[in-house]
Amino acid sequence: MTTQREADEAEIKQLIEGIAEAIRAKDLDGFRRIYAEDVVSFDVEPPLQHLGIEAKLKNWERVFTVFKEVDYDLRDLVLTVGDEVAFSHAFGRLHGRLANGVETDGMWVRATLGLQKRDGRWIVVHDQASVPFDVVSGQGVADLEP
């Protein structure tokens, strides 16, 4: 017999896989089904925060113009699930063929999601993608691998 916690974990894993599928398909509507209207996103590109689903979608729209074909890998996913809130962390990598035809391995980022159960279903209310930086130079370090 499946517990509620196990069911929630399975739903969240499916939702996270939905993010990867939306990326691979360049499906902006797929993101709209996964992210809250009031999502707060701390992404790797400026500004410091992107507020709301429209800002989140604009970010992905820019990414999709850079890539002709795009893929997404996720490693080391960890979930912490409560009754109404949950979070996950993992390593994610966007890679593929750029619009100019060049293949790129992309870079691994640290990916964190904050989720909330709203109207009986899990939805992303916060996300953060980040890269470490060198304290002395102030430069991001984008060549690390998990």
Which domains are present in the chain? Answer: 4-130 (3.10.450.50)
CA end-to-end distance (rounded Å), the chain: 35
For 75, half-sphere exposure in the C-beta direction (CA atoms, 13 angstrom radius) is 11
Q: From CA 72, how far away is CA 129, in angstroms rounded?
A: 13
Give residue-wise pLDDT tens across range 33-61.
999 999 999 998 889 999 999 999 999 99
Comparing CA positions, the residue from 75, 49, 77, 61 lying closest to residue 22 is 61
pTM of the entire predicted model: 0.93
pLDDT tens sequence for the chain (146 residues) = 889 999 999 999 999 999 999 999 999 999 999 999 999 999 988 899 999 999 999 999 999 999 999 999 999 999 999 999 999 999 999 999 999 999 999 999 999 999 999 999 999 999 999 999 899 999 999 899 99
The pLDDT value given to residue 35: 98
Bond into 47 cis (ω within 30): yes
Question: How distant is the alpha carbon of residue 13 from its chain centre?
Answer: 12
